[in-house]
Structure 1
């Protein structure tokens, strides 16, 4: 496939969200679990570098934290709803409320967010 066409994510551990309704259903079903949403674009270099790291985090925290992705070029309306102005942006939700966000591929801040808000069970 031409550069930029392949999706950044290979793992089913980080499924896509495309609409506000999907996001709201997801947050409702998650109850008190941490939900981490990666808003990215395929053309974004830092997003490409971050995707495998997010997949590894999703595998390490499987069952405790739910990971999702939003392709900003596919889901512009959802990106506007989430008030994302640059990518990558990772947004943490707990109990259906946004509790934190990290803009940029700042791995230690993303890891800290998962540890701070995620279940330690």
Structure 2
């Protein structure tokens, strides 16, 4: 997982060659801390198929605002430059796979 973003988040979304699962989170968010190891597991399971990226909403408020993030954790799947689906709340990796697995 990475927080090393190109100059523009939109550039990453538009030009990336595989789907991107973005986790919008913050360090003070308890449910976000619960989801973090689940996303690390998913990143390993989906290696080569999906890029999993974390965006700290405290540090990247402009990106969070642009995507209408009002609650965290929120996960958004982008594919071919477009938002495909989003979910909010703490979930286990199996639940996240059920939601996004068929969209990859």
- Give the TM-score normalised by structure 2: 0.89
> Segments of 4+ in structure 1 off by > 2 A?
106-109
**1:1-121 mapped onto 2 (5 Å cutoff):** 14-16=1-3, 22-31=8-17, 33-107=18-92, 108-118=94-104
Number of residue equivalences: 103
| Higher radius of gyration, 1 or 2 | 1
Structure 2 portions without partners, runs of 5+: none
Whole-Å Cα distance in 2 between the matches of residues 114 and 22 of structure 1? 24
User: Once the 2 structures are TM-superposed, how far is the Cα of residue 18 of structure 1 from its aligned partner?
Assistant: 6.3
* Alpha-carbon RMSD: 1.8
Q: TM-score, normalised by structure 1?
A: 0.77
Say if 1:52 and 1:105 are closer, same or farther in 2 by CA, change over 3 A.
same
Deviation at 1:29, TM superposition (A): 2.8
Q: Deviations over 1:49-73 (max 9, x none)?
A: 1101101100111111011011011
| Secondary structure in structure 2 of the residue aligned to 1:24 | helix
User: How far apart, CA to CA, are the structure 1 residues paired with 2:56 and 2:4?
Assistant: 8
